Amino acid sequence: MDPQKRIEELTEQLNYHNYKYYVEDAPEISDFEFDALLRELEELEEKYPQYRSPVSPTVRVGGEAASQFEEVTHTVPMQSLQKAFSKEEILDFDRRVREVVPSPEYVVEHKIDGLSVSIEYENGVLVRGSTRGDGITGEDITENIKTIRTIPLRLKDAIPFLEVRGEVFMSEESFSRLNAELEETEQPLFANPRNAAAGSLRQLDPKIAAKRGLDIFVFNIQRVEGVEITDHIGGLRFLKEQGFKTILNDRVFKTIEDAYDQIMIIGEERGSLPFGIDGAVVKVNSFAARSALGSTAKFPRWAIAYKYPAERQSTVIRDIKIQVGRTGVLTPLAILDTVRIAGSNVSRATLHNIDYIHEKDIRINDTVIVEKAGDIIPAVVEVLKEERSGDEKVFEMPAVCPECGAEVVREEGEAAYRCTGISCPAQRLRNIIHFVSRPAMDIDGLGGSNVEKLVENGLIENASDLYYLDFEKAAELRGFGEKWASNLKAALERSKTNPLYRLVFGLGIRHIGEKAAKLLSAKYKTIDALMAADPEEMAEIRDIGGIMAESVAEFFRQEQNRSFIERLKAAGLNCVDDSEETALDNRFEGKTFVLTGTLQRYKRAEAAAIIESMGGKTSSSVSKKTSYVLAGAEAGSKLDKANSLGIPVISEDDFDEMIK
């Protein structure tokens, strides 16, 4: 048979069977037969690559890895939805709609808990897929989008142009399978299906994305040419005819009361769904009515998302373990009898801190109520003291870090206990990234991903190991090479002559920003003198004070930290301050920044270090005291709160201008 004709025939057959299996859940041939046809197509395409179709099902296994994602500007903004948490807020939404549209009709849909994407088709063929990003600018993830088998590569009709919006998600089954595979290979597990879907979709290597079992529900037409569609239900029917997977509910609700009843029905079934939802969405059905209602800068006035209360279940705490975070904070974790909440099995729950444990009088062997905050993070919210038998045990925080054995400290006025070890395995990535950052030792070529690769391959364990690095082995790592290794070696040599304050700042001592590092360097002149400094004397230095002085003294009391310094000295780093005076840059003094979303040019630790080096502070939560919110791609609730409080939101470009 003519190879071109056979390739076309196989492509058409396989795309048809792919749709029947993944979208309609009605396979017509066995997996064995499908795989045999696919193997035949792969062999033919390998022999005759000139006949390979752009919609060949072989793209489902993923192509070549990309070095980075290109930016995509959305012609139609991918807006977020205003949220409702009560029936009263749904009724208020209806009242606002009726002020413009006297007799609206509503549709109600599941709000899939995943990652929002745009998919574009030209003449019926998929040409681009992109992430939502900040709603205006996203990332080109076309090759990863093509690996999702429920996304048609070619539409039924050759429509001149179509752009749709959907939610990529991971089913509970795929999530469990993925985490089991990660656990077997001793890799970090994903916290929930949404994080797993987002992480998989943003893999630079589409072959990895292809193996993750991603799925999609398409729920909106962004733009269309050549077809006239007048309402949402008609749009969903059209999308289904073209080969998309949708949650098609043909019901149109004439009253908001009926729509709210449907919200409650969806809420009752959410625990039994094979995919995660984080609410239900009410939309005006008519496109003409939507046009009349319009949108704000942030969300459409014709839709609202109802968020369900967190689901709760009772279970028993069998033990309390300590988890050491990347910032050194020790977090108590309840080990539970497994219980199913909001569609997933829960066997662990955060206890936040020791104050929370004492406040609720939580003990080992207690029967407790657990909920998923936002249907994501399990937390113990109540103790059923009437269930106590007398076998319960009081828990106290450990005196030393369970990861590295360094002393654990709790500063006055803080709830958190922290590990003081610079070589603590739980903190090492963060510590190394801070050490090499621009305000600290300023070592080019060591971004977060490169540091992570060196650690994962056993070439370094802490920042001092960089000065003893086997550059030949480093050069052999994928993506590095001899030129990179040579440049890194030169950057490390340059860093040895840095001023002492950069080294002090690079140690990552709690409360010691660049300003304080300069003051300490100017006062004590050598690292040895600083290590031996009396904290009471140090506290008398202007702008240092007792808390900072004790933090420095505590840091240098730890043997692993002193050993770290000795290795740096032996490597030839400058440990003397011979400057006459130290100039300080305090432009952010009195300002508090909150960082949210994915930053493109900075790691969060780098941006935070720059802010602190200029006298500012960073916080993990937005409040009225926040001065600025630095927002990257896919910023979420923190951005929403900043907007509601009227706090200035800045981009990376704004930030660059501020730090020039």
- CB neighbour list of residue 249: distance below 8 Å, 6 or more residues apart: 107, 108, 109
| Residue 109 dihedral angles phi and psi, to the nearest 5° | -130, 155
Q: Can you list the pairs that 239-244 forms with residues at least 24 positions away whose Cβ atoms lie under 8 Å?
A: 239/164, 241/156, 242/152, 242/155, 242/156, 242/157, 242/159, 242/162, 243/19, 243/23, 243/152, 243/154, 243/155, 243/156, 244/23, 244/151, 244/152, 244/164, 244/166, 244/218
Alpha helices (H) in 186-269, listed in sequence order: 193-201, 206-210, 232-242, 256-269
Residue closest to 326 by CA, chosen among 412, 199, 433: 433
The Cα diameter of the chain in Å comes to: 90
Q: What percent helix, strand, coil does the chain show, rounded to 5? A: 40, 20, 40
Q: Are the C-beta atoms of residues 114 and 197 closer than 8 Å to each other?
A: yes
* Cβ contact 315:367 at 8 Å: yes
Residue 466 sits at φ, ψ, to 5 deg, of -60, -35
How far apart are the C-alpha atoms of 451 and 430, rounded to whole Å? 10
CA distance 254 to 535: 72
Pair of tokens at residue 526: 């050598």
Q: Quick one: which H or E segment has residue 618?
A: strand 617-619
Contact status, residue 326 vs residue 419, Cβ threshold 8 Å: no
CA 379 distance to own-chain centroid: 20
How many angstroms separate the CA atoms of 144 and 603, rounded?
24
| Strand positions, DSSP E, 261-414 | 277-284, 303-306, 312-324, 329-341, 344-350, 367-373, 377-383, 408-409
Distance, in Å, from the CA atom of 60 to the CA atom of 41, rounded to the nearest integer, reads 13
Q: How far is CA 334 from the centre of its chain?
A: 24
What is the set of active-site residues?
111
Question: Are 247 and 109 contacting, i.e. CB atoms less than 8 angstroms apart?
Answer: yes
Bridge-based pairing of strands 417-419 and 377-383 is unpaired
* Class of residue 362 by CB neighbours under 10 A (exposed 0-12, middle 13-18, buried 19+): buried
